[in-house]
Chains A and B, each alone.
Chain A
């Protein structure tokens, strides 16, 4: 199956298909916030007023993706989100406390559900086709993607809009920060894998809305071919992780030496990155590796940003300098493996190749 179009709102300049990561954005602090477009030209003003930030981001990214694909009504809309619409959830819960569980306003409650974004896209498009939302923590995007791939494979659909959306709000950032997920002190995303990031606890918070139009027939403007996806849960050790990687590649009938680039989910947290460090000394020792979470931060559906990144590397045949790629510059990148994990629990492998 093929990635025909993408739409992405992230902490980088990605919306509206600007030159591919040519102006990386640096942040100080442990929280990366999405760069949002002006929604007025994208979403009906009457609908915008009820949409929280994440709903606007999701809907706008989906619209951009559909517009690029020239699709007005996809055969299916599948979304993945771990946190859902946190802002509305926070608002609703805060009001429950403030008003002693009485006089609760309906809008925040209605919009707080995890399927709101997929539903809003369906409503906007007046699309009554298959519409599903996956809420599987660190597997949310992968589950949505797998659903989309199966719909295409089983010929239930000819094109599927698949996306991932997660936001960080003041409330969720404060809670996750208190739980020790993020780095303390002076932090900058540009330095995440350099001096300040090495060997210290925590990562940087991120968020994003990434959408993909998948189709089972090729077209002249496709980004890449989506070859395979695999998830695995709580592996016991590095040997088990290596076994999963090997079996995944074997299922695709390729070896590691046929992969031009591996995008890894290194996030700056010493414990989390230990897995990547070990692999780099073992089965990835001869591979070209790049990391991406300095661009979008860490969040449960960050793999969607990695897929957007990989698709754009293949389509544009360029490697943004911000990725600090050390492999041979003259060699075209035709096949990319994404290996990511969220908090060492949810692991995923994605393989894409040039069409």
Chain B
């Protein structure tokens, strides 16, 4: 999850944040890190570029991108499927 946090910080250019500043279950959008819809697109690209995972169902977005933990679980589940 530390790597994922580092990737999120780099992808979204969250200059003042360090990986340890982001809690595993902290909401990423609105009241948490305060990300918005453009960031959501950046995160979708991050999943595709770094993990070769394509978010096939847009309705899954809010669930997958709720926190770093939910993202990590989604990545782990899909990587297992791809093996």
Q: Name A's B-contacting residues (CB within 8 A).
A: 45-46, 48-50, 99, 103-107, 110
Partner-binding segment picked from B23-31, B41-49, B63-71, B73-81: B41-49
Closest chain-A Cβ to B56's Cβ sits at a distance in Å of 15
Closest chain-A Cβ to B1's Cβ sits at a distance in Å of 22
Does B3 reach chain A (CB closer than 8 Å)?
A: no
- B13 and A49 form a contact (CB under 8 A): yes
- A103 and B41 form a contact (CB under 8 A): no
Question: Within the complex, which residue of B14, B15, B16, B42 is in contact with A105, where a contact is CB–CB below 8 Å?
Answer: B42
Chain B residues with CB under 8 Å of A104's CB are 45
- A103 and B49 form a contact (CB under 8 A): yes
How far does the alpha carbon of A255 sit from the alpha carbon of B49 in the complex, in Å? Answer: 65
How far does the alpha carbon of A50 sit from the alpha carbon of B34 in the complex, in Å? Answer: 13
Question: Within the complex, which residue of A45, A99, A106, A110 is in contact with B16, where a contact is CB–CB below 8 Å?
Answer: A45
- B48 and A103 form a contact (CB under 8 A): yes
- A50 and B45 form a contact (CB under 8 A): no
- With both beta carbons as reference points, the residue of chain A lying nearest to B47 in the complex is identified as A103
Closest chain-B Cβ to A30's Cβ sits at a distance in Å of 30
- A49 and B45 form a contact (CB under 8 A): no
How far does the alpha carbon of A107 sit from the alpha carbon of B43 in the complex, in Å? Answer: 11
- B11 and A105 form a contact (CB under 8 A): yes
Chain B residues with CB under 8 Å of A48's CB are 15
Does B12 reach chain A (CB closer than 8 Å)?
A: yes
Q: Name B's A-contacting residues (CB within 8 A).
A: 11-16, 34, 38, 41-42, 45, 48-49
- With both beta carbons as reference points, the residue of chain A lying nearest to B36 in the complex is identified as A46
* Most chain B Cβ neighbours within 10 Å, of A99, A107, A110: A107
Question: Within the complex, which residue of A49, A99, A106 is in contact with B49, where a contact is CB–CB below 8 Å?
Answer: A99
Chain B residues with CB under 8 Å of A49's CB are 12-15
Closest chain-A Cβ to B74's Cβ sits at a distance in Å of 18
- A106 and B34 form a contact (CB under 8 A): no
Closest chain-A Cβ to B47's Cβ sits at a distance in Å of 10
How far does the alpha carbon of A48 sit from the alpha carbon of B14 in the complex, in Å? Answer: 9
- B34 and A46 form a contact (CB under 8 A): yes
How far does the alpha carbon of A49 sit from the alpha carbon of B39 in the complex, in Å? Answer: 11
- A110 and B38 form a contact (CB under 8 A): yes
- With both beta carbons as reference points, the residue of chain A lying nearest to B54 in the complex is identified as A103
Given A46-B34, A99-B49, verify A106-B42 contact (CB < 8 Å).
Answer: yes
Top 10 nearest A-B pairs by Cβ distance? A49-B13, A106-B41, A103-B48, A105-B45, A103-B49, A103-B45, A49-B15, A105-B42, A106-B38, A107-B38
- With both beta carbons as reference points, the residue of chain A lying nearest to B12 in the complex is identified as A49
How far does the alpha carbon of A104 sit from the alpha carbon of B15 in the complex, in Å? Answer: 21
Write 17 A-B pairs (CB below 8 A) sorted by A numbering: A45-B15, A45-B16, A46-B34, A48-B15, A49-B13, A50-B13, A99-B49, A103-B45, A103-B48, A104-B45, A105-B11, A105-B41, A105-B42, A106-B41, A106-B45, A107-B38, A110-B38
Give 18 new A-B contacts, CB below 8 A, not counting A45-B16, A50-B38: A45-B15, A46-B34, A49-B12, A50-B13, A103-B45, A103-B49, A104-B45, A105-B11, A105-B41, A105-B42, A105-B45, A106-B38, A106-B41, A106-B42, A107-B13, A107-B38, A107-B42, A110-B38
Closest chain-B Cβ to A215's Cβ sits at a distance in Å of 36
Chain A residues with CB under 8 Å of B14's CB are 49
How far does the alpha carbon of A49 sit from the alpha carbon of B38 in the complex, in Å? Answer: 12
Chain B residues with CB under 8 Å of A103's CB are 45, 48-49
Chain A residues with CB under 8 Å of B13's CB are 49-50, 107
- With both beta carbons as reference points, the residue of chain A lying nearest to B33 in the complex is identified as A46
How far does the alpha carbon of A107 sit from the alpha carbon of B36 in the complex, in Å? Answer: 12
- With both beta carbons as reference points, the residue of chain B lying nearest to A52 in the complex is identified as B13
Chain A residues with CB under 8 Å of B12's CB are 49
How far does the alpha carbon of A99 sit from the alpha carbon of B46 in the complex, in Å? Answer: 12
How far does the alpha carbon of A107 sit from the alpha carbon of B37 in the complex, in Å? Answer: 11
- With both beta carbons as reference points, the residue of chain B lying nearest to A106 in the complex is identified as B41
Chain B residues with CB under 8 Å of A99's CB are 49
How far does the alpha carbon of A45 sit from the alpha carbon of B12 in the complex, in Å? Answer: 13
Chain A residues with CB under 8 Å of B48's CB are 103
